Amino acid sequence: MLDEIRQQPQALERTLTHQTRGIAGFRAFLAKRRPRLVVIVARGTSDNAAQFGRYLIEIMTGIPVSLAAPSVHSIYGASVDYKDALVVGISQSGESSDISAVLTQAHKSGAMTVGITNEPGSTLANLAQHVFLVKAGREKSVAATKTYTGQLMSLYLLAHALGARIRIEDLQAIPEAVHSTLSLEFGILEIAGNYRDMRQAAVVARGLNYANAFEFALKMMETSYVVAERFSAADFLHGPIAMVDHNLPIFVFGPSGPAWASLHETLEKVQAMRAKTVIITDRSNREAAGLAEAVIRVPARLKELYTPIPYIIPAQLFAAALAHAKGLDADKPRGLHKVTTNL
């Protein structure tokens, strides 16, 4: 897992270089055939990437986005009207039958289809009309890391193709930001050691980093068996905040930008409830230190739009370090296999 976390700058560069070829053509095609709706279908880590795509595409293109519930198709056999929609399947292996079934049905009902996958020969890649190939190299660890960031990168390119004002040059700066964030590894190892006995946690974020809350929580569940909740800062105040005490550490993604005011308010509230808080942020040490027990300071200064990939890196490192501190093998979570084909 640690090896794969460290491979991400190169993996992202390869993915970006590969996907940039031909993107202008796809953008021109979509400009003439703008979808009325984007539907994203995925499971597990890929579904967390989908959550990011949901925010990114709506914010940057104004096209409504729906995260599909695969069960609607697979167990209820419903036939949803996806005419003039763009239906996007995300699957690392490309072999999730649930997802392929939705794409097949969508195509029949008149949708365009896109696949985001690591595997060029997979069912999903063969099925989709346009494929974004994640060039992450083979992912051996059950806990997906480089696949997730590769999927996020693909979603930036998809949003670009849908007309979003996302510049390829800005995306090209992301691998370097990931590289500089990897330098936090030793500091994070130390912080994680302090959470060795943690059995439950909540991860809070908002907006474009909300997906990262899901992903960080999932990594802690998979590698360290921490019962980790994930919330949007807004929903958190609607009930779940009642359970906060010093036994429930809170992890917050807190980049500068539009979501900061809301996250700052959450941080103040949980401080007052005596929670142990860890914040991943680019805010100054002086400002952040008063709000949290531990501050993981991301070195890169980025527009909030480009923070989600670099910001998940400390979380991945933390999950791997926590498993190590707990004496667990992050690469072999109990009861899990790499590919879940059939649900």
Q: In the window 99-158, what residues touch a second copy (CB under 8 A)?
A: 143
Residue 343 in contact with a second copy, rule: CB under 8 A: yes
Residue 168 in contact with a second copy, rule: CB under 8 A: no
Residue 67 in contact with a second copy, rule: CB under 8 A: yes
User: Quick check: 263 and 41 in contact, CB under 8 A?
Assistant: no
Residue 203 in contact with a second copy, rule: CB under 8 A: no
DSSP state of 129: S
Residue 225 in contact with a second copy, rule: CB under 8 A: yes
Strands, E assignment, the chain: 37-41, 65-67, 85-90, 112-117, 130-133, 200-205, 227-232, 250-254, 277-281, 294-297
How far is residue 179's CA from residue 268's CA, in Å, rounded to a whole number?
Answer: 31
Q: Which stretch binds a second copy (CB under 8 A): 47-55, 188-196, 282-290, 308-316?
A: 47-55
How far is residue 176's CA from residue 253's CA, in Å, rounded to a whole number?
Answer: 20
Among residues 144, 142, 152, 267, the alpha carbon closest in space to that of 202 is found at 267
- Cα 280 to Cα 148, 254, 296: the distances in Å are 18, 6, 5
Site residues for a second copy, 233-272, by CB under 8 A, read: 234-235, 237-245, 247-248, 258-259, 262, 269
Name the helix (H) or strand (E) containing 188.
Answer: helix 185-193
Return the number of the residue (81 or 287) whose C-beta is nearest a second copy: 81
Closest approach, Cβ 17 to a second copy, in A, equals 29
Site residues for a second copy, 20-39, by CB under 8 A, read: 36-37, 39
Closest approach, Cβ 213 to a second copy, in A, equals 12
Residue 163 in contact with a second copy, rule: CB under 8 A: no
Q: How many residues bind a second copy, per CB under 8 A?
A: 71
Site residues for a second copy, 309-338, by CB under 8 A, read: 333-336
Closest approach, Cβ 317 to a second copy, in A, equals 18
Closest approach, Cβ 66 to a second copy, in A, equals 4
Please, where are the H alpha helices in 43-167? 45-61, 70-74, 97-108, 123-127, 146-161
How far is residue 111's CA from residue 129's CA, in Å, rounded to a whole number?
Answer: 10
Closest approach, Cβ 70 to a second copy, in A, equals 7
Question: 94, 207, 254, 308: which one contacts a second copy (CB under 8 A)?
Answer: 207
DSSP state of 209: G
